[in-house]
Structure 1
Amino acid sequence: MKLKDYQKGAIKSLRTYLERTQEEGPSLAFNRVADHAADYRPILDDQERPVPSLESVPYVCLRIPTGGGKTILGAHIIKTVAEAWLAREYPLVLWLVPTKQIKNQTLEAFSNPRHPYRQELDDKFGVGKVQIFDIADNGMIRPQDIADNLCLIIGTMASARVADTEIRDFYADKEDLEPHFIKLPTIEGLEQKEGKNRAKFSFANLLRIHRPLVITDEAHNANTALSYQVYERLSPSAIIELTATPEMDSSNVLVSVSASVLKAEQMIKLPVVLKEHIDGWEECLQSSLQRRTYLETLAPGEAPDYLRPILLIQAENKDKIATVEVVHKHLVDNEKVSEDQIVVATGDQRGLDDVDLFDPDCPVRIIITKDALKEGWDCSFAYVLCSLTQQRSGTAIMQLLGRVLRMPYARERNDPELNRAYAHVVSPSFGVAAQELTDDLEAMGFNPVEAAGGIVRELPLKGGTTALEPQKLTLELPKAPNLTTIPAGDRGKVEVQPKAGTDKFVITIVGQIDTATQDAIVETLPKRQQHEAKKRLVHHNVRASALRETPAQRQEKFRVPRLMFKQGTLVLEASADILLDHSGWSILNHPADLSSFRYVDQSRTFLVDVDEEEVKWERDPDAQERFALGMAAEWTDKELVAFLDRRVRQPDILQPQLVEWIRRAVQGLFDRGFDLAQLVRAKFVIARKLAEQIKKARTAASEKNYQTTLFATDAPVLADFDHAYTFDPNAYPSSKPCVANYKWKKHYYAVPGDLPHKRASGQLAEEFLCALALDNIEEIDFWVRNIKHHSQFRLPTATGWTYPDFVARLKDGRLLVVEYKGGDRVSNDDSKSKAQMGHLWQGASDGQGIYLMAVAQDEAGRSVEEQIRDAIAGKVGGKPA
């Protein structure tokens, strides 16, 4: 299965982190690589002290929202950790999940050769080289399994999360495991068999010997003191946590993927179209049935993809009215739904067992439940959620809502109405369910802007949608705030009323308010309550900022000419790969330089410089060495070259050339006196150095081709609207919204994404000031903060792509592209290369495009806003062109 870009990015960040951990340790590496500002937090004991035995263990979390395909990353995570950290071809992996139900589903998926999860493992480690075990069957694991295969053991955190180790099979002394302990050298920390003067033949001890990679799925369920005790007992080599909703105060979130990115990558359906029903559950049910039936009429248009929209009904508990039995009877008797189209899935009735909902012959169109689908169930055909209970449990409704978000086949549907999810909800009054579902989206990993924009009201069927009402926040205050000094525009947004029967006041805030107004409200509270109140007001403002009509909501076209390269009769997007293919290159013209590779005998450590950093690679501990492949007795020099070829193979390099290039590099190490045993043990760090050398060689060849091809007088380039990029009005791949307390007027989407607001010093960030200038220039119709993502506007460079910071459409139809650079970066080679490419695009656009590399203040003394205005007016350096 081909990974989406955000999944590739997560794996790349993990690899970079692990490689840096080799050099700098887990804490400093995290602070360098994490995609948000946070300090690394080591694993702590119940006294909030770092656990000494785990301080050097990489411990990070990948935050992937619901529907983002966390589990499919598993094979890639395992391979990445094996290569970048463990230096093993076949690691031992313990995969922990929160419940038995999820364990059984995960075990079934990884054990099935036809399932995508297992196919990914087979692809990464080789067919026949993957062994899957239930943690309950740990006695079946043989020493040769660990030595010759990837061993993936799947269990629940509860399997090992006990204070008394005597009461769990996990810690039991087992005769079946004795072969693993024969002739084992003394290893500290193993639990001893009482009265036997030996270590227990236990699964826990076996894991401790081999120091498994631990992957904890749904990791938000694992943040307890006992969970940390489990990690300490297992002595893991690395801990990777996967969750949509991490505990931000206790998790080292290395990568945080936003729901906006999932939407842009076509993984989820958004927005959720909400219809609230205050006239009874029967009306709600009938309306949701009509919606599902209508969506099925659209399904034939998705051919060759088969699609059968499914309705999920959340019935009430037995002490209520719309129970499972009542709803089922109503569907059959009153709505005339065929029995074979209905399945009941509750704790007592397991109607979905052994049902393949993706089978075109499957008749199921309706699933009735209460909350039994909340864990592990996954069917992307689920489109409509019908919640008949007014007492919605946050967990139940949130998990059911998540089931209707997944996009069938992880690609956009032909009909726009099939790119959305639908919720019909019984509500005591309008607005209540909307707020509940918005809160639920946040709990599922959406940021406040995404959550606020992720729910829209349904107008009459097929009649479109409308945004939610303005964001409201209610606070209780000990006294009335002084509102005489707040901005006049805020006075109509704030209502203060005495609270009946008390001496307190209730304040209601509607829409976005100024910082001065926030301060006036917060000042009325005791000091201990002010921080939390300030957080709630900021959160309210962020949500409120998303609720405005935008050019994207109006579906206004926003198209930008691409830079194209004419190759004979073909017109292709200019790129480094195209130019390399056009001009040709050979890796043999760029010999690998392994002169920095060396071995320190005293510490048994290999050293090599990679990207100007000294990388250390330590030999495996003796206790594990017997189980790990890589001993010279099992290898030849040809096998070493073949291994390195597999590790660094590139699609644009002919394999015979690459093999010969690697052979020469390896021979150079032999000529320097290294023996085969040393090189085999260091094969991963050598591969890393070779990959760096290939990257440098490609860049050198590409830069040469750029200068001779793109910047020639008669360069075969063009940039016109026949070959244009279009910003998707329904998907903006922002990782996080700008949190500034500012009401954006002209941004194409509700709020700019990935735009820094303030520096660490508290000063406004320069890029933010550039954005403010764009938002206030009359000649600009609308603009966008361009994101570094394959779906956004880009220009080629010798090393890949550059994504200019801002793109604006002027009222006269021209396009303005702005790259902002801080004063310390304007003159560097990277900035010069980007500017050169931007001006090439401008020249090829036949007057339709303007390119500007802006700075805080240029040599002529102009501000950012003056630079932009002059660029629009055609002035160069502030003077007429």
Structure 2
Amino acid sequence: MELKQYQKEVIADLDAYIEYAEKYNRLDTAFHKFWEDKGVSISSYDNYYLHPYDNSITGVPHITVKVPTAGGKTFIACNALNTIFRHMPADKPKVVTWFVPSDTILKQTYKNLNDPSHPYRQKIDSHFGNAVCVVDKEAALFGHGIGPTEIREQLTIFVLSVQSFAANNKDGRRVYRENENLVEYAKLYDNMTKRVNGSDETGLIQVLSYLNPVVIIDESHNFEADLRVDMLKAINPCFILDLTATPRKKSNIISFVDAIKLKRANMVKLPVIVYNHRSTNDVISSAIQMQRSLEQKAVAMEAEGGRYIRPIVLFQAQPKTDDDNITFDKIKNKLVEIGIPEDQIKIKTANKDEIKNTNLMSRDCPVRYIITVNALKEGWDCPFAYILASLANKTSRVDVEQILGRVLRLPYTTKHKEELLDLSYVFTSSNDFRSTVENVIEGLNRAGFSKKDYRVAEVPAEPASVPTELPSRSLFDNDDADMPAIAPTDDIDEQINPETIKTTIATPATNTGTVELEAFARQENENYNQQAAQQTDNNDIPNDIKGMINTYPIKDVFADSAKELALPHFVKKINANLIFADEYVPLDKTMLAEGFDLDKCDHNIDFTPAKSEAVRVDLEKSSGEEYAVTRRNLNANQLSFIKRHFATLSPESKQRQLAEMLAKSIRFDEISEPQVARYIKKAIEGADTEQLEVLYSNDWQTRNTIRQKIESLLSAYQEKKFKEWLDTGQVKCQAAYRLPERITVRIKSIGLAKGLYTEEESINGFEYEVINAVANLDNVLFWHRNPSRTGFCINGYMNHYPDFIVRLNSGITVLLETKGDDRDNSDSRAKVELGRTWANKAGEQYRYFMVFDKQEMEGAVTIKELLQRLSVM
């Protein structure tokens, strides 16, 4: 299971923020500069989503990622651990406290993270060399797998619920009590150890505070209460990552995931088709007919090579009390009376669970109807759930917002040949339809989506009339007076008439409105996809904040030409199936590591001694507030302790410990940690005791030397593999990147003609000299400053963002990379070779040039040479 493109962007944002924090040494400055480089001035406004950095958890990096329901928050978090710990000191214990919002979700999260066959655990194992231990609170209280020695040899993840770890309840207080199972930790404390108020020195919360963990918070909006913030402070985190679809106001958001990105990645069933009926009977009839119709289409699709899908209906009941099971049982009995086989109907509530240990996606599972109340709090979902049918009486509030997100996940995260299986459906019966739709919007908002992601259809006013086209109504149409009056009742026996429903579902679909509803859904799906295709978000501005940022459009004179331009990027051929003859996905350089074997590579590394000092990353006060991130020298006692301990080991133990310690901090997505450790051990096997101690004391320098060596080996292999795949047709160029309709600009350029947008980013020095000369050529139509990270990337064995995109009157598009003679760097030759390869594969309408002032390099040109070549194109 690999990251989707938008998930990679989230991880890139996380990595970038941490790099900003290391560069600027202040958390607030890092946050400000992070957004400033995206064209957003944090200091210029304070709104719900973006505002100056909030330091509620004093001195600790505390950031939030906004990801809609079904966006894969847990998988993002699994990958984020690698990124976070990569920036930590090598000798820091790798400890994570992973908070979830309820005990039910805790069981699910713990099960998945603890299962070696689950994609979540497999991804974590791949990053941490299979040295992973996952514990819940009970195991932790007994000290299972979390002794001081074990903690230092592994990644340890404590999966904890908010409720069971709070100090204001009896169960939560257990973590503060004396614990003989954790007594070894008390021997390790010193006068620098933070003490937790009210906790015994052997209490679990004191041990966690000593371990200074990374904190992951799933659904972080549940952490708003002051008691929970106090508990979080007591744990003494070194880093906090919040993931939620609905961030709280004080959240420091560094990454937004839009619904459209989830739709493009085939993660969600959008749009949501909302259909209001006259009665509960009609809701049930329509749900049954739609389920059967979708299943027939799923069977036909599978026969043509598609995946197995068995659409499920969620009947949402609303009991009078939390423990009232009578309502659920009555609904189930009514469905059986209608003729639904009993084994196809299950009840799933907080107090009655008939789908426990059931694999709802198994071909052997008969379940097609689930009666529930609040799937979100009940902690379950299933991608086969397609239809949410509310059975509330007509005057009740239709509380779909807590359950709507459960039907949004798309099976197998792939687009299906039958488009109706790419959508989700909500059936209701309400006299106040406007309130109902507002409730649907609230449900979408709660799930991280918006009112753009649903479509409303409504039943005709006269039951006997079946129009050829189903009417669509606006949210604010007030036609409820046309609906037949039905006396409200809470009695399920009176709401549901099995005989009436049986008669309706026995009627041919062409006479029941199902065909019209499906036609409406197809048309709205087409409209939604067209809108998605037209929305270009390459400028990296999330929809959530687009209205808050000054952006600049393409000049009208260039609009048509810019719209035609689709820059090719490299794509990789993947295994074809029966539905698609050939399928290509964007090339990621990690793909190019296929077959790379570090064990067989050159192990000779030059460890030239250099004066260095051991350091650790920590937070310290700056200007009276704990915002700064600095490297603080280890004191003499600490250095002495490290050397004394290391000196007691045998030469073999020294090699093993040094190799394993370094491997934990030198992580590659493409190479397993054990393989890195083996490589390091072989590289240092000839070192004597004194040399090993020097390498150990100067671990930062040693780590960087080894990383650079492995990076060079991996890069050379990826370049070779890239060329091989080009030759064999596994990689090709395919038009993909379109220029964004609007861009953000931090500082406007002045005095340059023919910029594509009404404003372009400021350009200085040699870059200005080059583009000014280019713009003055008669045959140049327009140019654009291509931003790094968010602009067009030549995605080969390295990610190369050329400085400029230039369009000529002839239709030729030119990519320019400028290099002042004082700014040559080691990757210039690789960039120019990749750029020229791209131009050759992209086609006759594309060119690439690297431009130096006067210096000569094979494949590059001077300004004079560039102008001569462009002028004749």
TM-score, length basis structure 2:
0.63
| Contact map agreement 2:98 2:218 (CA 8 A) in 1 | yes
Identical residues among aligned pairs (%) = 25
Counterpart in 1 of 2:372? 369
Counterpart in 1 of 2:775? none
Deviations 1:279-334 (A, max 9, x none): 222222222222211221233334574321111122344499x9645543442223
- What is the DSSP-based 3-state SS (H/G/I as helix, E as strand, rest coil) of the residue aligned with 1:78? helix
1:185/1:796 CA distance change after superposition, 3 Å: closer
Rounded to whole Å, the distance in 2 between the matches of 1:180 and 1:387 is: 53
Counterpart in 2 of 1:510? none
Counterpart in 2 of 1:691? 707
- What is the DSSP-based 3-state SS (H/G/I as helix, E as strand, rest coil) of the residue aligned with 1:85? coil
Larger CA deviation: 158-167 vs 359-368: 158-167
- What is the DSSP-based 3-state SS (H/G/I as helix, E as strand, rest coil) of the residue aligned with 2:612? strand
Deviations 1:167-212 (A, max 9, x none): 8212222334333313643455424789xxxx54322222222212
| Contact map agreement 1:135 1:154 (CA 8 A) in 2 | no
Q: What are the equivalent positions in structure 2 for 1:408-447 lying under 5 Å apart? A: 408-428=411-431, 433-446=436-449
Deviation at 1:350, TM superposition (A): 2.1
Q: Does 1:332 align with 2:336?
A: yes
Q: What are the equivalent positions in structure 2 for 1:482-521 lying under 5 Å apart? A: none
Q: Does 1:769 align with 2:758?
A: yes
Counterpart in 2 of 1:217? 218
Q: Does 1:180 align with 2:179?
A: no
- What is the DSSP-based 3-state SS (H/G/I as helix, E as strand, rest coil) of the residue aligned with 1:168? helix
Opposite residue 59 of structure 1, the aligned amino acid is: H
Rounded to whole Å, the distance in 1 between the matches of 2:94 and 2:242 is: 17
1:604/1:112 CA distance change after superposition, 3 Å: closer
Deviation at 1:361, TM superposition (A): 1.5
Counterpart in 1 of 2:257? 257
Rounded to whole Å, the distance in 2 between the matches of 1:239 and 1:220 is: 14
- What is the DSSP-based 3-state SS (H/G/I as helix, E as strand, rest coil) of the residue aligned with 1:600? coil
Counterpart in 2 of 1:381? 384
- What is the DSSP-based 3-state SS (H/G/I as helix, E as strand, rest coil) of the residue aligned with 1:362? coil
| Contact map agreement 1:797 1:834 (CA 8 A) in 2 | no
- What is the DSSP-based 3-state SS (H/G/I as helix, E as strand, rest coil) of the residue aligned with 2:190? coil
Rounded to whole Å, the distance in 2 between the matches of 1:470 and 1:785 is: 42
Deviation at 1:109, TM superposition (A): 2.8
| Contact map agreement 2:572 2:587 (CA 8 A) in 1 | yes
Deviation at 1:121, TM superposition (A): 3.8
Rounded to whole Å, the distance in 2 between the matches of 1:406 and 1:307 is: 13
Deviation at 1:453, TM superposition (A): 4.3
Match of 2:98 among 92, 95, 99: 95
Opposite residue 600 of structure 1, the aligned amino acid is: E
Deviation at 1:377, TM superposition (A): 0.9
Larger CA deviation: 89-98 vs 219-228: 89-98
Rounded to whole Å, the distance in 2 between the matches of 1:683 and 1:118 is: 29
| Contact map agreement 1:309 1:383 (CA 8 A) in 2 | yes
1:381/1:104 CA distance change after superposition, 3 Å: same
Deviations 1:406-447 (A, max 9, x none): 12222333332222222223343766655543443233223x
Q: Does 1:85 align with 2:85?
A: no
- What is the DSSP-based 3-state SS (H/G/I as helix, E as strand, rest coil) of the residue aligned with 1:636? helix
- What is the DSSP-based 3-state SS (H/G/I as helix, E as strand, rest coil) of the residue aligned with 1:288? helix
- What is the DSSP-based 3-state SS (H/G/I as helix, E as strand, rest coil) of the residue aligned with 2:758? helix
Deviation at 1:835, TM superposition (A): 10
Opposite residue 743 of structure 2, the aligned amino acid is: P
Larger CA deviation: 235-244 vs 366-375: 366-375
Q: What are the equivalent positions in structure 2 for 1:106-125 lying under 5 Å apart? A: 106-125=109-128
| Contact map agreement 1:97 1:218 (CA 8 A) in 2 | yes
- What is the DSSP-based 3-state SS (H/G/I as helix, E as strand, rest coil) of the residue aligned with 1:422? strand
- What is the DSSP-based 3-state SS (H/G/I as helix, E as strand, rest coil) of the residue aligned with 1:331? helix
Counterpart in 1 of 2:202? 201
1:350/1:578 CA distance change after superposition, 3 Å: closer
Opposite residue 169 of structure 1, the aligned amino acid is: R
Rounded to whole Å, the distance in 1 between the matches of 2:283 and 2:642 is: 61
Q: What are the equivalent positions in structure 2 for 1:604-683 lying under 5 Å apart? A: 616=631, 631=646, 635-637=653-655, 640-641=658-659, 675-677=691-693, 679-680=695-696, 683=699
Counterpart in 2 of 1:7? 7
Deviations 1:737-760 (A, max 9, x none): xxxxxxxxxx99xxx57x434647
Deviations 1:474-501 (A, max 9, x none): xxxxxxxxxxxxxxxxxxxxxxxxxxxx
Q: Does 1:284 align with 2:287?
A: no
Match of 1:345 among 348, 353, 372: 348
Opposite residue 452 of structure 1, the aligned amino acid is: K
1:286/1:818 CA distance change after superposition, 3 Å: farther
| Contact map agreement 1:438 1:452 (CA 8 A) in 2 | no
Match of 2:195 among 190, 196, 200: 190
Rounded to whole Å, the distance in 2 between the matches of 1:234 and 1:285 is: 50
1:430/1:787 CA distance change after superposition, 3 Å: farther
Deviations 1:639-682 (A, max 9, x none): 645765686587999999999996898699x79x9753453465
Counterpart in 1 of 2:162? 157
| Contact map agreement 1:804 1:818 (CA 8 A) in 2 | no
Rounded to whole Å, the distance in 2 between the matches of 1:382 and 1:820 is: 50
Deviations 1:192-237 (A, max 9, x none): 789xxxx543222222222122222111110232222122222122
| Contact map agreement 2:405 2:443 (CA 8 A) in 1 | no
1:661/1:370 CA distance change after superposition, 3 Å: closer
> Of the two structures, which has the highest relative contact order with CA contacts closer than 8 Å and spacing of 6 or more?
2
Q: What are the equivalent positions in structure 2 for 1:392-471 lying under 5 Å apart? A: 396-428=399-431, 433-446=436-449, 448=450, 451-455=451-455, 457=457, 469=474
Rounded to whole Å, the distance in 1 between the matches of 2:8 and 2:644 is: 28
Q: Does 1:756 align with 2:760?
A: no
Rounded to whole Å, the distance in 1 between the matches of 2:732 and 2:262 is: 26
Larger CA deviation: 691-700 vs 14-23: 691-700
1:51/1:658 CA distance change after superposition, 3 Å: closer
Counterpart in 2 of 1:857? none
| Contact map agreement 1:61 1:255 (CA 8 A) in 2 | yes
Opposite residue 692 of structure 2, the aligned amino acid is: L
Rounded to whole Å, the distance in 1 between the matches of 2:788 and 2:457 is: 31
Q: What are the equivalent positions in structure 2 for 1:822-833 lying under 5 Å apart? A: none
Deviation at 1:7, TM superposition (A): 2.9
Opposite residue 258 of structure 1, the aligned amino acid is: D
Rounded to whole Å, the distance in 2 between the matches of 1:621 and 1:382 is: 62
| Contact map agreement 1:93 1:153 (CA 8 A) in 2 | yes
Deviations 1:714-737 (A, max 9, x none): xx9999xx977476xxxx9xxxxx
1:373/1:355 CA distance change after superposition, 3 Å: farther
Rounded to whole Å, the distance in 1 between the matches of 2:680 and 2:668 is: 13
| Contact map agreement 1:317 1:323 (CA 8 A) in 2 | yes
Opposite residue 346 of structure 2, the aligned amino acid is: V
Counterpart in 2 of 1:859? none
1:835/1:110 CA distance change after superposition, 3 Å: closer
Opposite residue 292 of structure 1, the aligned amino acid is: Q
| Contact map agreement 1:135 1:153 (CA 8 A) in 2 | no
1:559/1:148 CA distance change after superposition, 3 Å: closer
- What is the DSSP-based 3-state SS (H/G/I as helix, E as strand, rest coil) of the residue aligned with 2:28? helix
Counterpart in 2 of 1:27? 28
Rounded to whole Å, the distance in 2 between the matches of 1:793 and 1:49 is: 30
- What is the DSSP-based 3-state SS (H/G/I as helix, E as strand, rest coil) of the residue aligned with 1:398? helix
Opposite residue 289 of structure 1, the aligned amino acid is: I
Rounded to whole Å, the distance in 2 between the matches of 1:623 and 1:325 is: 66
| Contact map agreement 2:745 2:759 (CA 8 A) in 1 | no
